């Protein structure tokens, strides 16, 4: 009973702190809108940044074609046993070709990618250096890894260099890991500087492009493409669950590292492979997004305009991407702002510690290329009142 009591107490504490999580009641997601608790709201909380998930002709064409092949809803086994499928090869070849890299590896999710990669690559003789605001999945990967880790101040590459200089010669291999577009702040990593540091200190650089794929770069390959650094970065990861409107994740790398990960990465080896129905859809959405140059430009223009209007009204709005956070500092204000927007027909989430650092609560507006300025023009006025 003691254990049950402790669990109950912990949940009560979460409730008292206003941090108790419940699943939302979502009955419909339909283009720009989402129905939550029976109310239709403009969805400003989706990661389907290009609206591919609502592309009806693409979707119905695909489901029709796929239903003819049959038995594709499960892979029934891990890839190394009987779960592999020709669509995996096609998808990995398409990714490698798109990035002009030797090889690609597909994972079940970005979470699987991040909890598996660093533990597979590093040993206790190595060191991992990670941006302080990296996603929870990267942090969990570092906790599983045997290598010690240190966190550098967010986007503070002088601090990173201090740590690199201090670590030089003391470890077998140093890894640097960062997001490119930060998921909660919408700001951008300086990839040129990171590549320069990686080269100077012979470190191994891993860039998580989860929120950049589809949105940045001529072919939607992310910030690595914008920065012209696709070939210089050791491993670039991307997810299928966001702008690519599917499920799963991938990394591009050399053939050597692909072989190594396939042999050592526990979140690849010990899990059931993705079902073919998902792999085929990912192939299609990957090709679709790479041609959506105009949508990318429009999305970034829309974000710049909203940021500008909010800053004009005195709000603290960091970042330079389609993720537009309005920092409130206090939790109560973030919750009140989100509630006010919801009352006016907009869904965007308050984000509070521990998801973000203490005293940096915010509402997070996630824009999509299917939105027009008229859809969101009232937001600055509503939260400014
Ligand atoms: C930066 C980053 N990496 C990885 C993930 C995890 O990806 P997935 O949702 O595919 O597990 C996310 C988001 O969920 C993310 O924001």
Give the pLDDT confidence of 9-44 residue by residue, as tens digits.
999 999 998 888 999 999 999 899 999 999 999 999
178: number of Cβ within 10 Å: 26
Q: Quote the pLDDT of residue 1.
A: 75
pLDDT band at residue 67 using 50, 70 and 90 as cut-offs: confident
Angle of CA points 355, 356, 358, to nearest 5°: 115
- CA dist 105 and 206 (Å) reads 14
137 lines ligand 1 (CB under 6 A): yes
Kindly list the distances between the CA atom of residue 268 and the CA atoms of 99, 111, 113, 145, in Å, as whole numbers in the listed order: 22, 11, 8, 15
Least confident of 71-85, 106-120, 221-235: 71-85
Does ligand 1 lie within 6 Å of residue 234's CB atom? Answer: no
Residue 66 has pLDDT above 90, yes or no: no
Which pLDDT score is estimated for 71? 61
CB-ligand 1 contact for 92 (6 Å cutoff): no
Q: Residue 326 pLDDT > 70, yes or no? A: yes
Give the closest residue (by CA) to ligand 1 atom 4.
110
d(CA 354, CA 121) in angstroms, rounded, equals 28
Looking at residue 385, its pLDDT comes to: 79
DSSP string, 345-371: TEE-EEE-TTTS-TT-EEEEEE--TT-
User: How large is the angle between the packed helices 110-121 and 136-144, nearest 10 degrees?
Assistant: 30
pLDDT digits over 256-309, tens only? Answer: 999 999 999 999 999 999 999 999 999 999 999 999 999 999 999 999 999 999
Q: What is the pLDDT of residue 34?
A: 97
Nearest CA, atom 9, ligand 1: 110
Q: What is the mean pLDDT of residues 121-126?
A: 98
* 45, 48, 107, 110, best to mutate for ligand 1 pocket (most atoms within 8 Å of CB): 110
For the stretch 192-210, pLDDT in tens is 999 999 999 999 999 999 9
Q: Is 29 in a helix, a strand, or coil?
A: strand
pLDDT at 189: 98
CA of 183, closest atom in ligand 1: 16
Please answer whether residues 77 and 273 qualify as being in contact, where contact means their C-beta atoms are separated by less than 8 angstroms.
yes
Indicate the burial class of 108 (C-beta count within 10 angstroms; 0-12, 13-18, 19 or more).
buried
- 104 has pLDDT over 90: yes
Q: Please tell me if the CB atom of residue 180 comes closer than 6 angstroms to any atom of ligand 1.
A: no
pLDDT over threshold 90, residue 381: yes
Q: Which domains does the chain have, with CATH numbers?
A: 18-50+293-384 (3.90.1150.10), 69-290 (3.40.640.10)
For ligand 1, whether the C-beta of 110 sits within 6 Å is yes
pLDDT of 165: 98
């Amino acid at each position: 009973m003691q254990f049950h009591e402790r669990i109950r107490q912990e949940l009560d504490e979460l409730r008292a702190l206003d941090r108790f999580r419940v699943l939302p009641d979502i009955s419909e997601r339909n283009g720009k809108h989402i129905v939550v608790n029976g109310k239709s709201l403009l969805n400003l909380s989706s990661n389907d940044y290009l609206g591919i998930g609502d592309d009806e002709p693409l979707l119905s064409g695909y489901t029709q074609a796929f239903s003819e092949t049959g038995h594709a809803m499960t892979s029934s086994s891990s890839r190394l046993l009987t779960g592999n499928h020709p669509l995996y090869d096609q998808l990995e070849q398409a990714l490698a070709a798109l990035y002009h890299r030797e090889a690609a590896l597909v994972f079940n999710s970005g979470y699987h990618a991040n909890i598996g990669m660093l533990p597979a690559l590093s040993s206790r003789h190595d060191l991992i250096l990670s941006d302080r605001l990296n996603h929870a999945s990267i942090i969990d990967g570092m906790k599983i890894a045997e290598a010690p880790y240190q966190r550098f101040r967010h986007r503070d590459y002088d601090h990173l260099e201090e740590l690199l200089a201090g670590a030089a010669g003391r470890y077998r291999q140093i890894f640097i890991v960062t997001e490119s577009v930060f998921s909660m702040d919408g700001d951008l990593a300086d990839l040129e500087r990171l590549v320069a540091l990686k080269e100077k200190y012979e470190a191994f650089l891993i860039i998580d492009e989860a929120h950049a794929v589809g949105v940045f770069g001529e072919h939607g390959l992310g910030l690595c493409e914008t920065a012209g650094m696709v070939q210089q970065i050791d491993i670039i990861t991307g997810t299928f669950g966001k702008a690519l409107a599917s499920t799963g994740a991938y990394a591009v790398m050399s053939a050597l590292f692909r072989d190594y990960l396939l042999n050592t990465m526990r979140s690849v080896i010990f899990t059931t492979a993705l079902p073919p129905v998902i792999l085929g859809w990912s192939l299609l959405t990957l090709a679709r997004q790479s041609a959506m140059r105009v949508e990318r430009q429009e999305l970034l223009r829309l974000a710049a305009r909203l940021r500008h209007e909010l800053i004009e009204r005195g709000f603290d709005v960091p970042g330079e991407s389609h993720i537009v956070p309005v920092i409130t500092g206090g939790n109560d204000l973030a919750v009140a702002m989100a509630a006010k927007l919801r009352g006016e027909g907009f869904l965007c989430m308050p984000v509070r510690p521990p998801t973000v650092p203490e005293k940096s609560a915010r509402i997070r507006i996630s824009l999509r290329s299917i939105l027009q300025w008229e859809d969101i023009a009232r937001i600055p006025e509503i939260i400014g009142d």
